[in-house]
């Protein structure tokens, strides 16, 4: 497969609590081209949940608005089906099953992405669905830490929270604890670091 054909899917979930069992109330996924990080498609979903099973404090962080959820939220099962379809449509990591049958998985990325990926794996399992994504997602926290590790002349930010990095790099997208804005912020962060790295490599070659 040509590099230009490869895709990465940036994901972010918002939950009503810190526990891995806390319900997912919102999720977004943004598919981009690998290398240039140009957006190809996106999906955003509000998800039905039982308010009695949630932490009120986290509902505030997730910008929960009852009227919006009442109008747009969909059942968990439907959300799982839609996300599965989106991931399969943007799956470019080629694999082979034990019997030699080829198949593809989506490559995920996000900020502290394993937190989201493990939640989604459990979510899909609970609904009897196969999670069509690799078990080795890419993480923008690690990307950023390595960026400063390999560019020691730069003064690093005080921490690697997404809000801090957005301010440090003057990103156009402001993360707001809403799934779509956080996913898009990660895309922009990756694109910026990739551009900086390409310039650095070009200068080093000459």
pLDDT at 200: 54
Confidence band of 199 (pLDDT split at 50, 70, 90): low
Res. 174: pLDDT tops 70? yes
- Taking only the tens place, the pLDDT of each residue in 4-27 is 589 999 999 998 877 777 889 999
Name all domains of the chain by residue range, CATH numbers in brackets: 3-205 (3.30.420.10)
d(CA 3, CA 8): 11
**Phi, psi of 149, deg, nearest 5:** -65, -35
Helix (H) or strand (E) holding 43: strand 39-46
Distance CA 18, CA 29 (A): 21
pLDDT score recorded for residue 21? 75
Beta bridge partners of 136: none
> Phi and psi of 96, rounded to 5°?
-130, 135
- Encode 67-132 in three state secondary structure: HHHHHHCECHHHHHHHHHHHHHHCCCEEEECCCCCEEEEECEEECCHHHHHHHHHHHHHHCCCCCC
Q: What Å distances lie between residue 96 and 27, 34, 108, 184, CA to CA? A: 29, 22, 19, 31
pLDDT digits (tens, 9 = 90+) for 61-104: 566 788 888 999 999 999 999 999 999 999 999 999 999 999 99
**Is 0.85 surpassed by the pTM of this model?**
yes
């Amino acid at each position: 497969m040509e590099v230009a054909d490869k895709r990465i899917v940036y994901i972010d979930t918002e939950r009503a609590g810190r526990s891995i069992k806390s319900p997912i109330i919102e999720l977004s996924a943004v598919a981009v081209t690998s290398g240039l990080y140009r957006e190809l498609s996106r999906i955003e979903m509000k998800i039905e949940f039982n308010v009695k099973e949630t932490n009120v404090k986290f509902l505030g962080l997730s910008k929960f608005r009852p009227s919006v959820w009442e109008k747009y939220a969909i059942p968990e099962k439907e959300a799982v089906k839609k996300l599965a379809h989106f991931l399969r449509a943007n799956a470019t990591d080629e694999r082979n099953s034990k019997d030699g049958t080829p198949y593809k998985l989506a490559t995920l990325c996000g900020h502290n992405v394993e937190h989201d990926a493990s939640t989604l794996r459990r979510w899909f399992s609970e609904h009897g669905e196969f999670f069509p994504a690799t078990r080795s997602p890419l993480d923008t926290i690690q990307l950023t830490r390595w960026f400063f590790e390999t560019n020691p002349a730069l003064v690093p930010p005080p921490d690697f929270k997404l809000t801090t990095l957005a301010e440090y790099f003057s990103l156009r997208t402001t993360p707001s604890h809403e799934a779509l804005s956080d996913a898009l912020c990660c895309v922009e962060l990756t694109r910026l670091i990739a551009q900086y790295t390409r310039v650095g490599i070009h200068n080093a070659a000459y």
